[in-house]
Structure 1
């Protein structure tokens, strides 16, 4: 009979155990008492180490280490109001208590909160839920409370509140080592608190990081939520030849342009006015012809009689000055 090593896992030993049981049944061994009455040495010599382990378990001589599995701990606080509330003061009072209790529980096991989830139950069983991402995980009660308070300052509801719950997602405190020329935010939480206030006043579509669109249309961009990834050090590029820089006007300044055989001959604008002595163009560009956001424009670089250099463009019969070259 093939003998297995002691390092095999229980799943790998199952076929061998079934084979040993079949042999024991042929010997007339059907109970634990009958197995325990056999000679240990003789059993091991005939059936191998696995049979010895079975004999030790039958005689109560086998020790198995108990592995403790802790259930996942829930960091959540909730409260049901006896009377319906319609003002923010009782709600803020309870949220402050929740944060203090959660901070104590998290600090006791050396964890910090990386995310808060606020759940509000209204009369009529309507629910509201909001997740707050904490830029730098912390247990600072004052800082977390200001974040909730800022959000609730502009929160409105048609129904009174009957219950509130607050849960925290724990994480180990972050430890990060930066390079010699890398920088980080001095106070990330204060920055994101300011961004939250600006978002409450201006709207989410007006606060964030501008990202260029995948198009040739000048100044086309979209707003994305602000994220901080640090400022890595960049190698210093070699000195390049100087060239004129375009100082753009945002928005572009409206202008009136006199044409001579479809070529600009005179420009009149708020800051630029005069006869055109030299011109380069037109530089044609267009895009989004497949949907309702299609666009087309013709750009010109013009030198006026006062030696100023400007860039202007024409789109759908309207002229605008994009900027002036320094």
Structure 2
């Protein structure tokens, strides 16, 4: 087996800063046991703000420092967002500890083009999420996590003697394990053990008699000498991702920047489920007023990240921002399974159809959903009632052999039939086609329809009324 660990340093800070480009002077503080800095941005660290510094001291060295409370909920949402996205590479994803995600990738290496190619794809994708990770690979999940924390970039395959790469690592890594307590580490420090290699060389029976069993169990799992089962992350049935902005924004561009990061997670979630969506919802959160909800239709089931982002851009471009935005939430459900696509021999006809539906979706985003409609047929014989305006939607291509013979209908139907005083300039082409219907709703029609050609060779659709007062009428033009 081969595991890749994605460790998020300064996760309490990244939970706030991944929604923006330049967070500036920002620090995250925890209240217990005393108010102190947990993490700070590079600009804040340059001013002397470091983790562990008391809040009063931090404000003394950086008076303009913005303080944010540590939010465990935001940290958990960030980890789940990363796990959702990582599912596009492998279904075997697990959340490790409180600040890392591990992926079992041995079964997808060939598809990814090898370990190096997969690592590059992970690094580029994580950057698109607005996150900074330290990455490492090892034959066990615990070893990968330890290497990612202390020696990021290490890629160790399952060759004989690979465990030697763990020997220089500090024993403090054991503190992240739930089974390890501070007295266990105090025991090691008391006997001068500072590295995992030194711990591995100790007599195990003697260490076990000194309450060191938990230390040995954790080390054995990291070295692959004991099983280390992991609980696989199951993506939710409904996608819901929240992104807190580092500061309130009143323009569209920062919102697009943050939206891109949410949609990257959505695309990964859809890829993991082999699904697509035909609509999703973007919610803009304000500080002192209700959130603004932006429903976005894709035109057809889709999971392409660039298409989803393009449609979100079109909607945000015409959205009036009535108040500063402090956060974004993206939700999507009603996922449909999207089968693989094969290309046509002489070009991709589906690609051309996709371009048409994308154009319609963009026009509706700019002009409003009621400004762009499609025409649909109704089960009605009367021509003026046989059509209706409908929601634009993608339609499957009709199967060969299912076409039915139908009477000719004009492309342009007049709103009201126009009386014809004479037929001298018209030559019949086809007809009559009798239409009698509507006796039940007081809109009874009794007509004989003809296709006729005028002196300019244009085709008209005309009819003769069979009921009183009779007469000839023009009802439409053929293209």
TM-score, normalized by length of structure 2?
0.37
Corresponding residue for 1:232? Answer: 399
Deviation, 1:148, is: 0.9
Residues 78/273 of structure 1: CA separation in 2 closer, same or farther (3 Å cut): same
Corresponding residue for 1:164? Answer: 328
Deviation, 1:126, is: 3.0
Residues 185/311 of structure 1: CA separation in 2 closer, same or farther (3 Å cut): same
| 1:155 matched to 2:325 | no
**2:397 & 2:330 partners in 1: Cα distance?**
31
| 1:312 matched to 2:466 | no
- The structure with the larger Rg is 1
| 1:286 matched to 2:438 | yes
Deviation, 1:137, is: 3.9
Deviation, 1:285, is: 3.6
**1:200 & 1:168 partners in 2: Cα distance?**
18
Give 3-state SS (helix, strand or coil) of 1:78's partner: strand
Give 3-state SS (helix, strand or coil) of 2:359's partner: helix
Give the strand-richer structure, 1 or 2: 1
**1:73 & 1:236 partners in 2: Cα distance?**
43
Root-mean-square deviation (Å): 5.2
The one of 55, 73, 82 aligned to 2:235: 73
| Conserved 8 A contact 1:111-1:173 | no
Unaligned 5+ segments in structure 2 are 1-227
Corresponding residue for 2:447? Answer: 299
Residues 295/159 of structure 1: CA separation in 2 closer, same or farther (3 Å cut): farther
Corresponding residue for 1:62? Answer: none
Equivalent residues, number? 236
The one of 352, 365, 368 aligned to 1:200: 365
TM-score, normalized by length of structure 1?
0.51
Give 3-state SS (helix, strand or coil) of 1:72's partner: coil
Deviation, 1:309, is: 8.6
Deviation, 1:164, is: 0.6
The one of 107, 122, 125 aligned to 2:290: 125
Residues 196/132 of structure 1: CA separation in 2 closer, same or farther (3 Å cut): closer
Cα deviation per residue 1:185-240 (whole Å; 9 max; x = unaligned)? Answer: 12555333211123235553464543222323214212243123234222799xx9
Unaligned 5+ segments in structure 1 are 1-65, 259-265
**1:173 & 1:305 partners in 2: Cα distance?**
51
**1:175 & 1:128 partners in 2: Cα distance?**
32
| Conserved 8 A contact 1:284-1:297 | yes
Residues 69/225 of structure 1: CA separation in 2 closer, same or farther (3 Å cut): farther
1:176-187 paired onto structure 2 within 5 Å: 185-186=350-351
Deviation, 1:257, is: 4.7
Give 3-state SS (helix, strand or coil) of 1:186's partner: helix
